[in-house]
Structure 1
Amino acid sequence: MDKPLDTAPLPSPLPANGETEQARAALASAAARLTSSDTPRLDAELLLAHALGISRERLLLTLADQRVPASFAALVERRASHEPIAYITGTRAFWTIDLDVAPGVLIPRPDSETLIEAAVNHFAGTPGPRLILDLGTGSGALLLAALDQWPEATGVGIDASPEALAIALANADHIAPGRARIVAGDWQGTGDVYDLILCNPPYISDHAVLMPDVAGYEPATALFSGPDGLDDYRRIAPLLGRQLAPGGVACIEIGADQRDAASTLFAAQGLTVTCRRDLAGRDRCLVVTP
């Protein structure tokens, strides 16, 4: 159960030992305010770095020299109201890239990097994929991470959401200019075949109760998929094989308790399915081959 929000205003970041301690005192005060977060100090550091227009790493290296912008307190209040850090700062790190994100687009999670790891493993010892497809591309995270991994590849990101398409296009323009095509569409793809297909579909049960940071801010269409969370897998499975080139692979994200149920849907289409776990040891990625 969430702790009740403290409605007291954020204390002014007064210097602890002269002006050089202003930032340190402000971070301590902000962390104390963010009791609803699992990572209050980290959140405070990210917000202060954002307010200063520098990286968190730069902030920590120069903390004693930083003064605190007036905008910092408002950013902390937004986070205290459960707004995700990524929406406040407008950015999210993923694999080897930094992405723009915004409300209306799913925030990329570290768990999804498991799909890139699975692809790297599949193509180890080869030149890698030439053509990459990202079904339900969202911010473009999976596609652009893969293109950064394999500089000779090109790819397509497909999504049905206008908000997602706009963000993905902006990310593609500055991360992989000329190498990524972002188009409106669905699970049927483009009619072409691809060496690598990446997909993080909605897979949460309609009845699931999510944390306020997710439920109150992220798009439901990117989260929920029917009573058992499997509706989109049922749509994808019959369409996937015809989109995979010989020797290709599809890396598809699943919920931690969906390995057997989701694997059965793809195996029923004559596809070979294994599963890769994330860093926490949870089932996370179906590795599907023709």
Structure 2
Amino acid sequence: MIAALTAAQAMVAATARLRAAGVDDPARDARVLLAHAARIEASRVTLIAPEELSPEIAERYDQLISLRAIRVPVSHLLGEREFYGRRFRVSRDVLDPRPETETLIEAALSEPFDHVLDLGTGSGCILITLLLERTSATGVGADLSEAACLQASANAVSHKIHGRAEVVCSDWFENIHGQFDLIVSNPPYIALSELQDLSPEVREHEPRMALTDEGDGLGAYRHIAASAQDFLMPGGRILVEIGPTQGKCVLSLFEAAGLTGTRIIPDLDGRDRVVMARMP
């Protein structure tokens, strides 16, 4: 009879498997996934390290590590991802919230707003975060994907702001009505030629329509620039996340559309991350 592994031994073995599979930071993932398999907080893993794993936990852990080894994202295995200090439910139907998008959040919160539109809302993390930080504001999240709309709606309910947030299935502005003093978007900006350079976690497990426009990566900005003035209040702002080489092109699109006060905002690593413009 094969003796059961302790939690520490299982983590060592899992780390080796993930390292061999080319996973970045395999020890971290092994630890987080063990906590998930054991249904405990990650901070408690050290406490169970000397203990033998029960067969049920060992089986769950093996399944999780096997999936991670074929590069299924940790967030999909956990079913959630942290963003701006809060947890959001995620799946392969929505783009994973990313730390660099918090640059857009900070820029949006730098001025007051009452009614926000989030184009390509995905998980709803941007819209929901803004409404949680501005408790008097209301907002609309729009996404072409029905599955994403369901995910955003579920996150709005779990964060208890569904009374102030409407989620609409819409191809950009197609089903949007009214005007807003803030429009935000993290659109698909990966050029088709760059898709193969993405990690397997992103390229193979996140929704393609949230990653690329199947063209030069600027298609979404052209759509947004062409219609934004019809939905922005006078003095209203628009903030879009961009790829680090797209700043000047997006700036030019917004200026050509008649928007003013354009500027590029860098992320914490100093890379161009957000373009802001304003309705005259």
Q: Same fold (TM over 0.5)?
A: yes
1:7 aligned residue: none
2:40 aligned residue: 54
On the 8 A contact 1:196/1:249 being kept in 2, the answer is: yes
Paired residues for 1:220-231 under 5 Å: 220-231=208-219
Paired residue for 1:43, among 13, 20, 29?
29
1:165 aligned residue: 149
Q: Which amino acid aligns with 1:250?
A: I
Paired residues for 1:200-219 under 5 Å: 200-208=186-194, 209=196, 210-219=198-207
Could you say what secondary structure the match of 2:205 adopts? Answer: coil
Once the two structures are TM-superposed, the CA of residue 67 in structure 1 deviates from its matched residue by 5.2
Once the two structures are TM-superposed, the CA of residue 241 in structure 1 deviates from its matched residue by 2.0
On the 8 A contact 1:140/1:157 being kept in 2, the answer is: yes
Once the two structures are TM-superposed, the CA of residue 101 in structure 1 deviates from its matched residue by 0.7
1:156 aligned residue: 140
CA distance in 1, matches of 2:4, 2:178: 57
1:194 aligned residue: 180
On the 8 A contact 1:137/1:143 being kept in 2, the answer is: yes
Aligned residues: 267
Q: Which amino acid aligns with 1:56?
A: A
Which of 134-143 and 106-115 deviates more? 106-115
1:112 aligned residue: 101
CA distance in 2, matches of 1:268, 1:277: 22
On the 8 A contact 2:265/2:273 being kept in 1, the answer is: yes
Cα distance change, pair 28–269 in 1 and its aligned pair in 2 (3 A): same
Give CA-to-partner distance per residue, 1:168-212, whole Å, 9 cap, x none.
111111112312111111221622111221101111111221221
CA distance in 1, matches of 2:139, 2:42: 31
Cα distance change, pair 23–287 in 1 and its aligned pair in 2 (3 A): same
On the 8 A contact 1:96/1:148 being kept in 2, the answer is: no
Could you say what secondary structure the match of 1:107 adopts? Answer: coil
Would you identify which runs of 4 or more consecutive aligned residues in structure 1 move more than 6 Å? Answer: none
- 1:240 paired with 2:228, answer yes
Could you say what secondary structure the match of 1:38 adopts? Answer: coil
2:246 aligned residue: 258
Once the two structures are TM-superposed, the CA of residue 41 in structure 1 deviates from its matched residue by 1.6
Cα distance change, pair 149–67 in 1 and its aligned pair in 2 (3 A): farther
> Quick check: which one's helix share is greater?
2
Q: Which amino acid aligns with 1:43?
A: D
Q: Which amino acid aligns with 1:192?
A: G
Q: Alignment identity in percent?
A: 41
CA distance in 2, matches of 1:204, 1:281: 19
Give CA-to-partner distance per residue, 1:102-144, whole Å, 9 cap, x none.
11211111111111011122x1xxxx32111111100101001
Paired residues for 1:130-149 under 5 Å: 130-149=114-133
On the 8 A contact 2:89/2:155 being kept in 1, the answer is: yes
Cα distance change, pair 26–101 in 1 and its aligned pair in 2 (3 A): same
Once the two structures are TM-superposed, the CA of residue 285 in structure 1 deviates from its matched residue by 0.6
Q: Which amino acid aligns with 1:218?
A: E
1:34 aligned residue: 18
CA distance in 2, matches of 1:67, 1:177: 43
Cα distance change, pair 72–132 in 1 and its aligned pair in 2 (3 A): same
Give CA-to-partner distance per residue, 1:210-252, whole Å, 9 cap, x none.
2211111111111112432111111110111222223322210
RMSD: 1.9
What 5-or-longer segments of structure 2 have no aligned partner?
none
Once the two structures are TM-superposed, the CA of residue 284 in structure 1 deviates from its matched residue by 0.6
CA distance in 2, matches of 1:65, 1:162: 46
Once the two structures are TM-superposed, the CA of residue 33 in structure 1 deviates from its matched residue by 1.4
CA distance in 2, matches of 1:13, 1:85: 25
Cα distance change, pair 54–129 in 1 and its aligned pair in 2 (3 A): farther
